[in-house]
Structure 1
Amino acid sequence: MINIVLFGKPGAGKGTQAEFLKEKYNLTHLSTGDIFRFNMKNDTELGKLAKSYIDLGDLVPDEVTIKMLEDEVNKNTQSAGFLFDGFPRTIAQADALDTFLKIKNWNITATIALEADDNILVARLLERGKTSGRADDQDEEKIRNRYDEYNEKTAPLIGYYQEQNKFHAVDGIGTIEEITQRLTQVIDNL
């Protein structure tokens, strides 16, 4: 079983690349962003709670995110593996994910970070905001707040996964095909 954590700042291309990787490696793609948006669109209690944080540019609390993700994994226990997109975002989430997977005799195979300059990513998100209708992609101040949150809470995951020899950085600038090639090279060499 291959379990990949794909992370990077908002706009780094995680969702785009996840589509290619899930097909190539027959993985179940679990995007917390997609799960949150589904719940918000359907006005579930979880969706209302998640929206209250996302609208401020803040991260959704760990306990909400962890429970939601565990439910999704449990719905797909026959999968060849999972591609975690947007999770974990904190050390506490990484610990909870490791504990949850260990119960199932699974583990994280690798963590791959798509890296790119903030200014390039802001431009990407503002452009995406014009067509996506996502309010969080239309306000540069909210975008930069998301980056501050990432730097404070998510960037420490680099050290967490480096200690486990599971961290791989990939240049997130280039064509979609070039970035996909870089990602598959890392995964094929695991």
Structure 2
Amino acid sequence: MRIVLVGPPGAGKGTQAAYLARNLEIPHISTGDLFRANISQGTPLGVQAKSYMDAGNLVPDEVTIGMAEDRLEQADAAGGFLLDGFPRNLKQAEALDVYLKGKGITLDAVLDLEVPEDEVVKRIAGRRICRKNSAHVFHAEYSKPKAEGVCDVCGGELYQRDDDHEDTVRKRLEVYHSETEPIIDYYKAQELVVTIPALGKVEEVTRRAMSALGRGE
């Protein structure tokens, strides 16, 4: 299957993408991984991206599109893929369509993870990260540490990242509404969008998505 996963920050796209890709036996292709791989490998696109990032500028769509297309050329994506974080805007969505058309293939579905805005803010603003090991993540409401401000695993200090402050989260949501939400209407016109309520346990959301894709139990 060839799937695009969309949803606001805090909707759980990364988590769901990993579960779905594993269940569907297709590669999970995330924008973050594309950037990290290209930059670490020193590819021409990675060098371009790093130059923009080091200057504090946004990476142009052309660079991101180039990375995505290069990744889709790899053998493991021949039988399907799950795109997470790409396309991020209409220009990228249109470029993806042109690329796929050139290959004689089409998307099977665009999964839209739907979460109320207040819940998004609560999810992100409540996150607390361990300073010793950023893989240790807690939540002020949903996954509290045994001792406030202290990591259960290693005893490190828990803190709130700048990106997780409520005012920053709301700004990120504004960007999502203005730049990314329009691609949902774009794909609705192609009758590809399947809306998945993303409240509830991770496993429940995954089951809803698999069922919507006709792969339920």
Indicate whether the TM-score tops 0.5: yes
Counterparts of 1:88 and 1:124 in 2: how far apart (Å)? 24
Q: 8 Å contact 2:129–2:161 — kept in the other structure?
A: no
Unaligned 5+ segments in structure 1 are 54-58
Q: 8 Å contact 2:26–2:77 — kept in the other structure?
A: no
**Per the alignment, in what secondary structure is the counterpart of residue 105 of structure 2?**
coil
Unaligned 5+ segments in structure 2 are 136-159
* 1:76 paired residue number: 75
- 1:24 matched to 2:50: no
Q: 1:9 is matched by which residue type in structure 2? A: P
Aligned 1:82-121 pairs, distance under 5 A: 82-121=81-120
Highest RCO, 1 vs 2 (Cα 8 Å, sep ≥ 6): 1
Moved more, 129-138 or 15-24: 129-138
Q: 8 Å contact 1:136–1:143 — kept in the other structure?
A: no
Aligned 1:23-172 pairs, distance under 5 A: 23-38=22-37, 44-45=46-47, 46-50=49-53, 52-53=56-57, 60-76=59-75, 79-128=78-127, 130-131=129-130, 132=134, 137-172=163-198
TM-score relative to the length of structure 2 = 0.74
Counterparts of 1:135 and 1:68 in 2: how far apart (Å)? 28
Counterparts of 1:94 and 1:86 in 2: how far apart (Å)? 11
Counterparts of 2:96 and 2:18 in 1: how far apart (Å)? 22
The share of aligned pairs that are identical, in percent, is: 40
Counterparts of 1:31 and 1:78 in 2: how far apart (Å)? 13
Counterparts of 1:128 and 1:41 in 2: how far apart (Å)? 28
Change (3 A) 1:16 1:78: closer
* 1:180 paired residue number: 206
Superposed CA RMSD: 2.5
TM-score relative to the length of structure 1 = 0.84
Q: 8 Å contact 1:4–1:111 — kept in the other structure?
A: yes
Moved more, 43-52 or 163-172: 43-52
Higher helix share: 1
Residue 136 (structure 1) shift: 6.1
Counterparts of 1:135 and 1:42 in 2: how far apart (Å)? 28
Counterparts of 2:75 and 2:161 in 1: how far apart (Å)? 31
**Structure 1 residues 70-92: Cα deviation after superposition (integer angstroms, max 9, x where no partner):** 11111235542010101111111
**Per the alignment, in what secondary structure is the counterpart of residue 87 of structure 1?**
coil
* 2:156 paired residue number: none
Q: 1:49 is matched by which residue type in structure 2? A: Y
The number of aligned residues is 183
Change (3 A) 1:33 1:188: same
